[in-house]
Amino acid sequence: MQSKNKKCRSSRGLPAGAGNEAVECGSPHVQPRYVGCYIRLHRFGLVPVLATLAAALAVCEVDAASGWLNWRGPDQDGVSKAQVKLPDKLELGGPNHRWSYKVRGAGTPVIADGRVFAFGFYGETTDVEETLICLDVKTGAKIWEHRFRDFLSDTTYNRYAIGAPVIDAETGNIYLESTWGVVMAFNRDGKLLWEHSMMEEFGRLTFPNGRTGALVIDGPLVITDGITANWGADGPARNRFYAFDKRTGELAWFSTPGVEPIDSSFATPVFGNLGDQRVFYAGTGCGNIVCINARTGEPVWRFRLSNAGVNADVLLLGNDRLIGIHGKENVDSTSHGRLVALKIPTAYPTGPKPVVLGRDVEVWRNDDFIAFSSSPLLVDNRVYSTIATGSLLCADATTGKTIWSEKLGPDQLHASPAYADGKLYVPILNGTVHVVAAGGNQAKVLSVNQMGAPCLGAPSFYGDAVFIFTKEALHCFGPKASAASVPVAAAAPAPVAPPPGPVTQIQVVPAEFALLPGESQTFTVYGLDAAGRRVRTVSEAATFAKFIPPTALVKSEVDAEIAGNVLKAGRNAKMSAGQLQVKWNNLTGITRGRIVAGLGYKENFEALPLGQKSAEGEDVGFPPLAWLGARVKWHVLEKDGSKVAANRLDTILFQRTMNFIGKPDLRNYTLEADVMTDGTRRVMSTVGLLNQRYLVSVAANSRILEVSSNHERVKESVPFQAQPNTWYRLKTRVDRDATGDGGWVRAKLWERAAPEPAAWTIQVRQEHLHAHGAPGVFAFSPQSLKRVYIDNLSLTANE
């Protein structure tokens, strides 16, 4: 049977003017086409390595003082200190309306060097695409655009682009994370420098709310966070932070600062100094505010603020105060929401870390503030925040006492206020933007402006312009009588950083790796001073050795050979995982990694030992260590005379699992396995395989064989009456057309005891096919009632 879907768009870069319009001064005009070069990451074999490296190392400095480089502005607090007159009214079609660009957004544009960079999306259902778009700040004309499509995420409705790009002041590069967790680096002209699929490489989880947030940059690192279920000791789901070298994309460190998450979080880290150490502070999905060493990833301290995720950014007041806010259940009462001021450490702890701060560090609390995902402002010792009921509140930052409250809308979600020119610009979910005078003993609303669509982001400022993003368009406001201004770079010299001290620790980059059989990994070993600053590389003088931590529950070594600072996996290397210990001058560092599934991989589980006991008392073992997130989701056990993989039903939290076994750059492969579900005619489960970012699943309860990616974007099925406790063979492959971006997703399903049928059971046409993706396995046991089983897994090249 064939099922066609012709609406899904490509994840390629697009030329300017491809179906979009800029509206300038109320008059639409279609932008001329721009012929550009959009290049995939060199790891996928389409860009010469030296050319990509040269582009990544190029420096195009931008002025950090005048630019709005991240969603919260120069000091990460939503405040512009520029001395410039900004409009009191933001009326669409009015005298201060410069231009609009029709792209849907739920975040904040960033601006530098006369260019606006916006994270948005197009479409409604199967045609949804996210985009990073670059516009001219004066006219709104499109300079370049890069579009990309969702895959395998749980994002529902149109909860896309809830985040923002970030601009690096040193290189001029732009960094962005898509809703489904692809971290991308671009140069200012739109060339893709590198990317990481956090889902397929580190087990990042996605959620229906779609909240992604923004990356942050400090020194040589770009940092992201999310809930990940990786492998080994990092297999259990936790809110983790990952720091990549901004030029090369190599992982410098990862950090697990908290405990089991309750929710996702899209709070952005806020940087500060703790003694001579560079740190950041951020809310997490486990309800904590955490402090982490920005250069090494070492968790420093944490404070439990909420019984759910903390999504708002924190504020720093001096060097010993931190202000945080949340909108969920409090830890010491059943009430929801709180604004707190904490007295935080002013010296870097010397003992065991992370330090857990208690209630005694609270300076004050105010339960009037219930802000789930809106971030507050701090202006002239006053805290301003919108709350869930649509009011804007002002509190004294010294005492925490509420000074005034002003009702602006029926409710509020995500959108945050920003401050400039003595005014608060306050977007509200209902599509209004209120301009409010700062200060005073009561609110003074200067104007209420209708944007015509929901506002979920925050305003940004550049020169004499104010930018507002809605779910329909990006708008630019400013005095129309004069041409839009581009700020002149500050003449003051940049502060000179103190020289680094002697090397006292080493950092191995990448901190985690994945290799196919036949591949190699070259490591860089940085010597860091006591403050975590890079002093020099010591790679050639360092020694590498395989290492099994004494506390490891699974004693395993990576199946590869070491020569100097290069690790080489032979062509017949087995799937494996382990650590490498690196030593230099009596200093020690660690990296870890996996040999993952490549073409020719087979797994029948017979070599995996049992000897553990399940919650039901069965004799079980663990799945391959190199499977992402699988150790807590799968067991190996005896079934029908052989060892098989079975999903675990210990807790309802594990009722659904998706586990990758290879690299995201794999393509043109066939993945097949024996599959079966426990159950009765009325109650069964779903089992499937992941092939090139498509899920092919036997949904036994629904009596179908289904092909999907994100369920609201790609979902096609054919009837299939799967029976419980019956082994089937599931065979999947993805075929790209010889020319163009289209292709087919194909699958066969038949009883294992029968011959393979000649015809495909399902064929789904995709006009813009996912070009690559990691192989994996999938299970869904509703209410954790009935198991599924997998055996005789095989990964081969398409014939």
pLDDT tens digits for range 516-526: 999 999 999 99
Q: Which residues are paired to 182 by β-bridges?
A: 197
> Does pLDDT of 425 surpass 50?
yes
Query: Where residue 248 falls among pLDDT bands split at 50, 70, 90?
Result: very high
Q: Is the pLDDT of residue 758 over 90?
A: yes
The whole-angstrom separation of Cα 54 and Cα 499 is: 27
What backbone torsions phi and psi does residue 391 show, to the nearest 5 degrees? -95, 155
Residue 651 pLDDT > 70, yes or no?
Answer: yes
pLDDT at 5: 40
| Nearest residue to 547 via CA among 579, 576, 587 | 579
Could you give the percent of the chain with pLDDT greater than 70?
A: 90
> Would you say residue 306 has pLDDT above 50?
yes
Question: What is the arithmetic mean of pLDDT over 633-637?
Answer: 96
CB 714 within 8 A of CB 694: yes
In the block, residue with structure tokens 């410069």: 98
Nearest to 710 by CA among 207, 265, 226, 261: 207
Question: What is the pLDDT, as a whole number, of residue 263?
Answer: 87
Distances (CA, A) of 720 to 316, 656, 704, 716, 750: 58, 21, 5, 13, 10
Please report the pLDDT score of residue 47 as a whole number. 38
CA torsion sign for 402, 408, 413, 416 is negative
C-alpha–C-alpha distance, residues 103 and 283, integer Å: 30
Residue 574, both tokens:
């087995």
Q: What whole-number distance in Å separates Cα of residue 792 and Cα of residue 29?
A: 58
Confidence of residue 138 (pLDDT cuts 50, 70, 90): very high
Tokens of 490: 């500050």
pLDDT band at 552 (very low <50, low <70, confident <90, very high): confident
Q: What is the largest CA-CA distance in the chain?
A: 82
Over residues 316-333, the pLDDT tens digits come to 999 999 999 999 999 999
Give the pLDDT score at 712.
Answer: 84
Is the link from the previous residue into 719 a cis peptide, with omega within 30 of 0? no
C-beta neighbour count of 543 within 10 angstroms: 12
Residue 773: both structure tokens together: 């993706």
| Cα–Cα distance for residue pair 732/707, rounded to 1 Å | 10
Residue 254, pLDDT > 70, answer: yes
pLDDT of residue 484: 65
For the ranges 155-169, 477-491, 704-718, the lowest mean pLDDT is seen at 477-491
CA–CA separation, 464 and 445 (whole Å): 21
CA dihedral (38, 40, 42, 48) in degrees, to 10, reads -30
pLDDT at res. 681: 87
Please determine, for residue 2, whether its predicted confidence score (pLDDT) is greater than 50: no
What's the pLDDT at 326? 97
User: CA neighbours within 13 Å on the CB side: how many for 242?
Assistant: 29
What is the structure's pLDDT at 340? Answer: 98
Half-sphere exposure of 287 (CA within 13 A, CB side): 18
130 contacts 121 by C-beta, under 8 angstroms: yes
Of 296, 403, 265, 278, the closest CA to residue 339 belongs to 403
Is the pLDDT assigned to residue 711 strictly greater than 90?
no
Query: How do strand 21-24 and strand 27-30 relate by DSSP bridges?
Result: antiparallel
Q: Note the pLDDT of residue 520.
A: 98
Question: pLDDT tier at 210 (50, 70, 90 boundaries)?
Answer: confident
* Residue 251 reports pLDDT greater than 60: yes
| Size (the chain), residues | 799
More confident residue, 458 or 2: 458
The string of pLDDT tens digits covering residues 19-78 is 445 555 443 333 322 222 222 333 333 333 344 444 444 556 676 667 999 999 999 999
With a cut of 60, say whether residue 474 has pLDDT above it. Answer: yes
Q: Is 636 within 8 Å of 608 (Cβ atoms)?
A: yes
Q: What is the DSSP string of 623-635?
A: --TTSTT-TTTEE
Buried b (16+ CB within 10 A) or exposed e, 82-112: bebebbeebebeeebbbbbbebbbbbbbbbb
Encode pLDDT of 764-794 as tens digits.
999 999 999 999 999 999 988 999 999 999 9
pLDDT of residue 56: 45
pLDDT score at 616: 84
pTM, rounded to two decimals: 0.92
pLDDT band at 208 (very low <50, low <70, confident <90, very high): confident
Q: Is the pLDDT of residue 730 over 70?
A: yes
Integer Cα distance of 724 and 754 in angstroms: 17
26: left (phi over 0), alpha (psi -120 to 50) or beta: left
Q: How confident is the model at residue 493 (pLDDT cuts 50, 70, 90)?
A: low
Strand bridging mode 576-584 / 587-595 = antiparallel
Percentage above 90 pLDDT, the chain: 82
Q: pLDDT per residue over 566-623, tens digit each?
A: 999 999 999 999 999 999 999 999 999 999 999 999 999 999 999 999 888 899 999 9
The mean pLDDT value of the chain amounts to 90
Other residues' Cβ atoms within 10 Å of the Cβ of residue 740: 11
Question: 457-466: per-residue pLDDT in tens?
Answer: 999 999 999 9
Region 477-497: mean pLDDT is 67
Residue 176 has pLDDT above 50, yes or no: yes
